[in-house]
Amino acid sequence: MLFRSVSQSRYSNSLTAFYIVIREALHHIARYICELVMSTVLRIFLSRNAADEQTALDLQRQLALALQPAAVEFWEGNQVPPEEYRIRAASFIESSALFIALVSMNYEDTAETRFEYDCAIKRQTVCPTLQVATVRARACDTPARLRSFPALIPSPESIENPNIDRNRQLQRAAVAAVRIVHSAPDTNIIPVGNIELPVTVADLG
């Protein structure tokens, strides 16, 4: 019985070690693919409602300036045929370094913006180099699924605010976005130590 218990323990430890090795290998492969698709140009997906288009364009200009000398490519969905929109939006998000939700009271008026941030959230779980952030175009509540992500401007401030200089807000948002891009982690995996199996009640005490 003692021999069997020792053998089972060694077998369990071997499986645990094998799992950790495979997990790390898959992470490095995913990381390599992410870096490969983003090595030539920095892609940014600025998700917005059509009502906030001018704010989005002005923010894009500030982002391009703040990220110099990097070459930046922004998502331009206005020229995409409706029947191809979701496929091409998802493809762009997969190769992006940053997804920004420009939120306002109109942001979730269409299903497309909900589709966009859903894609970004799912993508980040497998590609940690994709960062997700929010910024208020106008005063509003941030959608629930986006509240855990960093805001480029502190709540409850917004870009379009008659009491605060608009250019200053755009610049603040752009600078914060640059910091987020540069601080992107290499992995979403939290390191764990070796696990000695089997675990007994005494081990948990």
Q: Is the pTM of this model over 0.75?
A: no
Q: State residue 38's pLDDT score.
A: 46
For 126, the token pair is 């497998």
CA distance 133 to 167: 19
For 182, the token pair is 């540069």
DSSP 57-84: HHHHHHHHHHTTTS-EEE--GGGS-GGG
Q: What does pLDDT average to in each consecutive run of 10 residues of the chain (205 residues)?
A: 54 65 67 53 96 97 95 94 96 96 96 97 92 97 96 95 94 96 69 47 47
DSSP 164-199: S-HHHHHHHHHHHHHHHHHT--S-SPPP-----SS-
